Amino acid sequence: MQADNEYAHVLNYLYEKNLILHDTGLFDKVLYFYFVDALSHIDYTCSLLAYNYMSPKNIMGGEYLRWRIDEEKKGDRPKFSGFVNWLRDENPERFMKLPALWQMIYDDEDPAGYRSFRIVLDPDTKQAISADLFFVMIDEFFEQDFLKSLYEDGSLAVLFRTYLSSR
């Protein structure tokens, strides 16, 4: 890794964040899973750009992401993508308040996705996502109003339960 690698700075920025003022045990379990999952994909994607793909960090990240494939199938977790699309159609204002990564990855009409656990916004380009965009993604996930909405009685969690009850 080069000392001045811009993606290493993104990783440091991510690692300096904390949830000390929040009780994640009170977060909606599905929303919390996808919160941690998004951070893991950010970490893995940036790590591939900052370190050799065979570094222990990338090997460990890949192992977690392989594990999460089965975890994503448990309980109400498979309904998350449908929830994001439901928000897009039924509550566009609230959809626009979601972190952009969730909007892009889970919107059925957006080509973005996780490819080999990496974040790929445009499958037709080979260009890496800019470091600046990763900083924005990280900030969106740690924005206080968003974090508050993840609590079981938070606005996003309430909307998720409304979605579940309508299915």
Question: pLDDT of 39-72, one tens digit each?
Answer: 999 999 999 999 988 999 999 999 999 999 999 9
Predicted model pTM: 0.94
* Residues 43 and 119: beta-carbon distance below 8 Å: no
For residue 2, pLDDT over 60 is answered with no
Closest CA to 151 of 24, 20, 19, 39: 24
